[in-house]
Amino acid sequence: MHPVLKLVAQRIALSTLLLLAASVLIFVGTTILPGDVAQQILGQSATPESLANLRAELGLNDPAVTRYLAWLGAALQGDLGTALTNGRDIAESLGQRLGNTMFLAFWAAVISVPLAIFLGLLAVRFRDRWPDKLISGVTLASISIPEFLIGYVLMYFFAVKLGWAPSVAMINDSMSVWQKLNAIALPVGVLTLVVLAHMMRMTRAAILNVMQSAYIETAELKGLSTFSVIRRHAFPNAVAPIVNVVMLNLAYLVVGVVVIEVVFVYPGMGQYLVDHVAKRDVPVVQACGLVFAAVYIGLNMIADIVSILANPRLRHPK
């Protein structure tokens, strides 16, 4: 087998094992939660007979290993179960919610990724001068402020005071693309500020690390301009760490939007998860956790594979 294919196969196998371990943690975490699921569903006035019948119907009397294997086997076949609170198919509900979350994450990534790389290159070009200090200061401030606080501040000024965007990011299938973009303007702005800082600072650090190499000094001695040195020599060799941080932040855009979706009442997976955590709907919580874990592990696996393909030293570790 080709060395590159072998490395890719190893990463896929490790990601699969990691997802399996994550599924165990998700199931155990929801199983050991205090309280009785049957009691939560039927209420305090439920009779012992009705509680016993519901526990038997939900399979709560079966051993934990049996319930885990049954849940995992059904999930591998695309059956995520039925919500206890409304009886709806979880996979169907998650499909629509995941589409909304991906729509939000897509537009945040479209804005933040190119902007972060551009600002990182700009900071390197004017290193230790006022553009670099201004960009670094603003991004450091955006990292330090919690995203929910940024969301409320933007909501107050742009929605309440100026009326440029709605404070509640509600979208539906009957809305046009422009109406949806107007509805998600504020949450996209918050997500962009949060992930932009991480990607910009990593881009700057990676390029500055490469700029200390001997071949960069050779290129400068040949008379190339600073911008040409960065564009032709430094940036291509700094792609691997930049790709890693971009993928990590894209994973955050999908997995870590729970707070933003709750703040702006956005009908995505984060809001769906929080709603059913409050109702102690264990199958929904397990399904959301599994989908989040799969997305996060998948994007990290892609970042790892891209890094291997982009860096010859990773392709030939010896």
Domain count for the chain: 1
Residue 235 located in a structural domain = yes
Show the domain range for 156: 90-315
Residue 250 located in a structural domain = yes
Round to whole Å and give the CA distance between 282 and 296: 21
Residue-wise pLDDT for 170-217, tens only, equals 887 788 888 888 888 889 888 888 888 878 887 788 777 777 777 777
Residue 9 located in a structural domain = no
Residue 7 located in a structural domain = no
Residue 4 located in a structural domain = no
Round to whole Å and give the CA distance between 99 and 269: 9
Phi, psi of 246 (to 5 degrees): -65, -45
Residue 180 located in a structural domain = yes
Q: Residue 8's Cα: distance from chain center in Å?
A: 22
Residue 32 CB burial class (10 angstroms; 0-12, 13-18, ≥19): exposed
Query: Which residues, other chains included, contact 66 with Cβ-Cβ below 8 Å and sequence gap of 6+?
Result: 59
In this structure, the chain runs to a length of 318
Residue 269 located in a structural domain = yes
Per-residue pLDDT of the chain (318 residues; tens, 9 = 90+): 667 777 778 888 888 899 899 888 888 887 776 666 666 666 666 677 776 776 776 666 677 788 788 888 888 888 777 777 777 788 888 888 888 888 888 888 888 888 888 888 888 778 778 888 888 888 888 878 888 888 888 888 888 888 888 888 888 778 888 888 888 888 988 888 888 887 888 778 877 777 777 777 777 777 777 777 776 777 777 776 777 777 777 777 777 778 888 888 888 888 888 888 777 778 888 888 888 888 888 888 887 777 777 666 666 655
Residue 177 located in a structural domain = yes
Structure tokens at 195: 């992930």
Q: What is the largest CA-CA distance in the chain?
A: 86
pLDDT the model gives residue 17: 92
Supply the CATH number for residue 158's domain. Answer: 1.10.3720.10
**H-run or E-run covering 249:** helix 239-255
